[in-house]
Chain A
Amino acid sequence: MIIMSVPRFWRKQIARYNLVGTQCKKCGEKFYPPRNMCPKCRRDGEIEEYKFSGKGEVVTYTVIHTAAEGFEGQTPYVLGIIKLEEGPSLTSQIICDAENVKIGMKVKPVFRKLGQDGERGMIYYGTKFVPESTDKC
């Protein structure tokens, strides 16, 4: 089992590494994960790249004890939905002691390893989040 094929991951690598999404120039709505079709304006919309600040807050979260394949070494890990200050929400891990996570907690992004295909397989990197108050990151 591999988490994701190399070309499939690479295709969205900038979006994953740097929180680059898109926005619709017509209505101003911003999208992360990126979308190429604005759900509001559809074919009338005009999509361009948009780099997110990564500042946001925790909408909801869970502590995963039974991991997804490729994530076994990380349990328990905190998975959350983060609402970015520019509007959209995304799913990511929150690096934080489970007992300290709170709904509404402010977070900021960090570049981290996401997962790995076995011991010698590909390592996937991307954006996780830490509490805004964390200094070392």
Chain B
Amino acid sequence: MRDVAIIGVKNTKFGELWDRSFRDVVVEAGAGAVSDAGVVGEKIDAMFVGNMSGGQFVEQEHIGALIADYSGLAKNLHVPSTRVEAACASGGLALRQGIYAVASGMDDIVIAAGAEKMTDVPSPKASSALAAAADREWEGIMGATFPGLYAMIARMHMHKYGTTSEQLAQVAVKNHQNGQHNPIAQYKSKITVDSVLKSIMVADPLHIFDCSPITDGASAVVLAPADIAHEYTDTPIYVKATAQASDTIALHDRRDITTLDASVAAGKRAYEMAKVQPKDIDLVEVHDCFTIAEICAIEDLGFAKKGEGGILTQNGETAIGGKIPVNTSGGLKSCGHPVGATGVKQAVEIVEQLRGEAGKRQVDGAEIGMTHNVGGSGATAVVHIFSRDR
């Protein structure tokens, strides 16, 4: 297996992009990443596009070919292009497929992208599309919503470990604090614990400010064999681990409601593959689709003991400058959550941090970074570890 490096990255602006279509944003991200890498189209061997639900959000399937076409890679070059789907983990999984392609030796230059255009439909329709990531037959039919499922995780976490609404709110406050320094972020406003607690209740105990928004956006990275990465860039970022794990589709079938066993398993596999431990990680982008999800993630990935994620957050240890900076991009909460793009966006953030290009949200001396992307209420988890050093 060959070592793989990221040689180019690009995020589009995240937000309600009324004037941009699905294909517009993906092409912008793809072309931006290719240009960042200094690669020419003729060199591209394959592309993988993470997209959760083009069918429901823009009534468009066959996303792979569409994107190859509008990137100018179809008609003349016939570059193979594959859509990858794992609900909100589609992006992370597209990246993983791209890494497979390069690591295997089948392909050299590969684009891994992710995109979602969610605001072309009314928000109830968008929520309904997202609910398809849960079990439609045995959760959805009973009136379960996505916030509802995570609210049940939160309720249990509070009951078992004494986690508080204030600690959950602190996740949102910290992520908005980071997001205000991210040029692509959907919400750059600072918020307070009080404003989170006073925002409307969506699914008790989760308020609307505990939830990530509905977002349009796309992200892309360019992958290359590590051996030739320096031909393209002075600062290749190396993929040290790619890991993925599955769990039950329905929350009610989990071993423990407060633990995403898929995150634990993917994390463990990633640490083994990269030969590092949680203490070696300088920063992590976790899947904070809801504030409670960040608390669970930092526990499940080994940055806090089970039940102590709330305290770690409350003590400021997950802020920039803390013991383990979490979601320097602003996370899904402040940066936005175009579901198919998120897993790739997390990698773009880590690359910018490891290159030292993150501006006011820069983590000093960052050498090793991790991403954690979750599908549904935890049925898929994808974890990557990246490093400045090969």
Contacts and interface: CB of A to CB of B under 8 A. Distances in A.
A90 B137 CA distance: 11
A126 B141 contact: yes
Interface residues on B, range: 35 or more
Interface in A77-105: 77, 79-81, 88-93, 98, 103
Given A4-B141, A61-B155, 15 more contacts: A3-B140, A4-B136, A60-B155, A62-B152, A64-B143, A65-B203, A68-B128, A68-B143, A68-B148, A69-B127, A89-B252, A91-B142, A91-B144, A93-B142, A114-B142
Interface of B: 124-125, 127-128, 131, 135-145, 147-148, 151-153, 155-156, 159, 200-206, 250-253, 257
Contact of B252 (A62, A69, A81, A103): A81
Given A60-B152, A81-B252, A68 B200 contact: no
B143 A74 contact: yes
Contact of B143 (A8, A9, A79): A79
A33 B138 contact: yes
Given A61-B152, A63-B203, A65-B201, A33 B143 contact: no
Contact of A68 (B127, B201, B252): B127
A59 B251 CA distance: 11
A62 B140 CA distance: 14
Contacts of A59: 156, 252, 257
B94 to A, nearest CB: 28
Contacts of B139: 91
B137 A91 contact: no
A68 B152 contact: no
Contact of B142 (A12, A66, A126): A126
Contact of B148 (A3, A79, A92, A126): A79
Given A59-B156, A68-B128, A81 B148 contact: no
Interface residues of A, number: 37
B155 A62 contact: yes
B252 A90 contact: yes
A89 B152 contact: no
A122 interface: no
A108 B334 CA distance: 42
A95 to B, nearest CB: 12
A124 B138 CA distance: 13
A77 B204 contact: no
A79 B147 CA distance: 11
Contacts of B135: 33
Nearest to A82: B252
B152 A3 contact: no
A60 B151 CA distance: 9
A60 B159 contact: yes
24 contacts: A1-B125, A3-B140, A8-B137, A59-B252, A60-B153, A61-B152, A63-B204, A64-B143, A64-B147, A64-B151, A65-B200, A65-B202, A66-B202, A66-B203, A67-B145, A68-B148, A69-B125, A69-B127, A69-B128, A79-B203, A81-B251, A90-B138, A91-B139, A91-B142
Interface in A1-55: 1, 3-4, 8-9, 12, 16, 33
A124 B251 contact: no
Interface of A: 1, 3-4, 8-9, 12, 16, 33, 59-69, 71, 74, 77, 79-81, 88-93, 98, 103, 114-115, 124, 126
Contacts of A61: 152, 155
A81 B204 CA distance: 14
Query: Which interface residue of B148, B151, B253 has the most chain A CB atoms within 10 A?
Result: B148
B141 A81 contact: no
Contacts of A69: 124-125, 127-128
B203 A64 contact: yes
Nearest to A127: B142
A114 B141 contact: yes
Nearest to B253: A89
Given A60-B153, A60-B155, A60-B257, A65 B204 contact: yes
Contact of B137 (A33, A66, A88): A33
Nearest to A68: B145
A90 B253 CA distance: 7
A79 B152 CA distance: 8
A80 B141 CA distance: 13
Given A60-B155, A91-B250, A66 B145 contact: yes
Contacts of B153: 60
B92 to A, nearest CB: 25
Nearest to A124: B141
A60 B163 CA distance: 15
Contacts of B253: 88-89
Contacts of B138: 33, 90-91
